[in-house]
Amino acid sequence: MTDGNLAISHDESDGVEIVRLEGDVDLTNAELVREAVDATRSESVVLDLTDVTFLDSMAISTFDGGRRRLASEQRSLVVVSPPDTPSAWTFRVTGRHGDVCESLEDALLSALGRHAHT
């Protein structure tokens, strides 16, 4: 799925769905991100922001909403935001950097660990 400034793709690894975002994530396309997360069905979902070039506070609010929705279904959402990326900067300045994994590998391990405990 692409909206001009944002491309969204889906992948899977060991039963964990991966939603990858590439480009700018902001007020104009946050709803597309919400829809992509809501369309997942696995117990654990990874939202990969490695290739995000811009992230605003509306996007972080969207991620939080997705995390809450999945948790209400006994599912989990793990966010990937590597250091020195625009998304990591936004998480740091909003005080949310503790809510993310620094690599896809760490996120998959976290997601699989959460899945094993459910």
Domain residues for the domain of 47 are 6-116
Question: In this structure, is residue 1 part of a structural domain?
Answer: no
The answer to whether 23 and 52 are in contact (CB under 8 A) is yes
The sheet carrying 76-80 orders its strands as 6-13, 16-25, 44-55, 76-80, 100-101
75's tokens: 């599912």
Question: In this structure, is residue 26 part of a structural domain?
Answer: yes
Predicted confidence band of residue 118 (pLDDT cuts 50, 70, 90): very low
Q: How far apart are CA 12 and CA 45, in angstroms?
A: 9
CATH of the domain at 104: 3.30.750.24
Q: How confident is the model over 40-47, as a mean pLDDT?
A: 96
Tokens 């944002």, residue?
A: 6
Q: Is the pLDDT of residue 10 over 70?
A: yes
The number of distinct structural domains making up the chain is: 1
pLDDT score at 112: 84
Question: In this structure, is residue 72 part of a structural domain?
Answer: yes
Predicted confidence band of residue 95 (pLDDT cuts 50, 70, 90): confident
Question: In this structure, is residue 17 part of a structural domain?
Answer: yes
